[in-house]
Amino acid sequence: MSETPDGVEVRPYEPGDAAAFWELKRGFELGIGEGTGGDDKLTTYEAKLTDDYRERYLSWVEHCASDDPGCVVVAEAVSGDEDGDVGVDSDGDDRGDDARLVGYAFALPEEMTFIWDAAVLNELFLDADYRGTGVADELMEAVLDHARSQDLPLDRIVLDVDEANDRARAFYDRYGFDHWGELVARDL
């Protein structure tokens, strides 16, 4: 899809990404709990990250990615050997021996756009070492491009962001996201 100056390629999710994707998902969930809501929130988010949840979540990611290709994108850091050669994978794409996923963005598939009558950015997460490098911008652009390709009831994209997550709020503000309603929740 695209390549950042930092040697990070943004591309669609592939089935072989599952294990590394899960580690990023854990970072997303634990970061939400740790950074935006005290010990109770962190404990709640840690508790849900069971083996069963992992299997169900990754199955859902697979379903979404196969149903609406491009709705899940990953950022892969590609580094070459000492000569700068990155090698070639089974599809003929360049891949380094040390290629690793460093982020992802997940827009809900088109079939789910009626939930909010819009495209939905479900999650965007980037490894802390890659924040501030432009990789999040590449992920956001990939999501926006994909959302524009969806047949939407309203030409808009929505997301929820914790009001205590100042960095994320500033990022979304930069992309022109405005307050649009309020998400409320309660335990079942």
pLDDT tens track for 150-175:
999 999 999 988 888 888 999 999 99
pTM: predicted TM-score of the whole model, two decimal places: 0.84
Q: Considering the domain boundaries, does residue 126 fall inside one?
A: yes
Tell me what the mean pLDDT of segment 87-103 comes to.
65
Q: Show the domain range for 142.
A: 2-174
Find out whether 161 and 120 touch, Cβ atoms under 8 Å.
no
Q: How far from 29 is each of 1, 24, 81, 181, CA to CA, in Å?
A: 26, 9, 33, 23
Q: Considering the domain boundaries, does residue 156 fall inside one?
A: yes
Q: pLDDT-based confidence at 80, cuts 50/70/90?
A: low
The single-letter code of the amino acid at 95 is R
CATH, residue 113: 3.40.630.30
Q: Considering the domain boundaries, does residue 187 fall inside one?
A: no
Q: Considering the domain boundaries, does residue 186 fall inside one?
A: no
Q: Considering the domain boundaries, does residue 46 fall inside one?
A: yes
pLDDT, residue 165, reads: 84
pLDDT tens track for 15-41:
999 999 999 999 998 887 566 666 777
* Total domains in the fold of the chain: 1
Q: Is the pLDDT of residue 94 over 70?
A: no
